[in-house]
Amino acid sequence: MVDIQVSESSGVRYLHFSSNWVQGAMRIARPWALELDYTREMMAALLLRPDGDWPRSALLIGLGAASLTKFLYRHRPEARLTVVEIEPAVIAAARQYFKLPEEDARLSILVGDGAAHVAAAAERYDLILVDGFDAKARSGRLDGLPFYRDCRARLSASGLMAVNLLSKRRGVRDAMERIAEAFDGRALAFPSCDSGNVVAFAAAGAPVEHGLGELKTAARALKEATGLNLLPTLTRLETSRHCPGGRIRL
């Protein structure tokens, strides 16, 4: 069992595992908002599949401070959310300190190994979010080719996977190669956040192709609807090598 620690500074509550390394955060005055850069960027999936009813189902591997869970629960009320978290203490902390909603017909929280769950699951998901690390920033089987292949097999015809990678940890390039192999090249890494996180996306089913102009229009609509501002992310993307020709293709 991990040693859960909770700290607060300047109106933000943080989750730690036996170290100063942040596992999750919540601005106390805005518990439904996405406080950390990488969590906001993982929600760029909503720009890549801009249908307002998407996703109708999501699998979240790794709960942390429940930021992504709460955002989708609030802003995608028709979506069925399944969360798999290996540490029961993390779930308890999210309920006590981070306003994790109670389970209901829309939200199911399971204690278990994320890789094993994906390998055994029968359900298909529109969105799979992978954000699982231990106290030493290790993701274990959640960064293996078999796992990524299993994720692809579990995605629907409009499926996307978003993965939080750490650029300060060796192996991001290797991880991207594994993701690309599992998804037949339909993978893209966004430029590294200031925090050192790299968010990778991969697609199954229907093609994803958008110009930056389209994405900015979608980002303005998303900001109006949810308060989430992804325009800075798109500006970084525009000035990087990650978006050749001003278009994203997956």
pLDDT tens-digit profile of 34-49? 999 999 999 999 999 9
- What average pLDDT does this structure show over 50-56? 90
C-alpha span between 63 and 48 (Å, rounded): 23
- What's the full length of the chain, in residues? 250
What percentage of residues in the chain have a pLDDT greater than 90?
A: 77
Confidence of residue 6 (pLDDT cuts 50, 70, 90): very high
Active site residues: 131
Residue 136 confidence (pLDDT) above 90: no
Q: What is the pLDDT of residue 180?
A: 97
Residue 166 confidence (pLDDT) above 80: no
Note whether residue 130 is domain-resident. Answer: yes
Note whether residue 5 is domain-resident. Answer: no
Q: What is the pLDDT of residue 197?
A: 87
Note whether residue 214 is domain-resident. Answer: no
- What average pLDDT does this structure show over 108-136? 90
pTM: 0.95
Confidence of residue 209 (pLDDT cuts 50, 70, 90): very high
Alpha carbon dihedral 161, 167, 169, 170, in 10-degree steps, equals 90
Q: What is the pLDDT of residue 170?
A: 60
Give 170 or 3, the one with higher predicted confidence: 3
What percentage of residues in the chain have a pLDDT greater than 70?
A: 95
Domain count, the chain: 1
Q: What phi, psi does 53 have (nearest 5°)?
A: -95, 0
Note whether residue 92 is domain-resident. Answer: yes
Note whether residue 238 is domain-resident. Answer: no
Q: Which domain holds residue 179?
A: 31-208
Q: What is the pLDDT of residue 59?
A: 98
Note whether residue 45 is domain-resident. Answer: yes
Q: Please report, for the domain that includes residue 110, its CATH number.
A: 3.40.50.150
Note whether residue 113 is domain-resident. Answer: yes
Note whether residue 8 is domain-resident. Answer: no
- For strands 155-166 and 187-189, give the pairing: unpaired
End-to-end CA distance of the chain: 38
- What average pLDDT does this structure show over 84-107? 96
User: Which residues are within 8 A (CB) of 106 and not within 5 positions of it... i.e. 6 or more apart?
Assistant: 73, 77, 79, 80, 81
C-alpha span between 76 and 5 (Å, rounded): 30
Confidence of residue 169 (pLDDT cuts 50, 70, 90): low
Written as one letter, the residue type at 125 is: Y
Q: What angle do CA 62, 133, 91 make, to 5 degrees?
A: 40
Q: What angle do CA 49, 160, 70 make, to 5 degrees?
A: 80
Question: Which has the minimum average pLDDT: 17-26, 134-143, 160-169?
Answer: 134-143
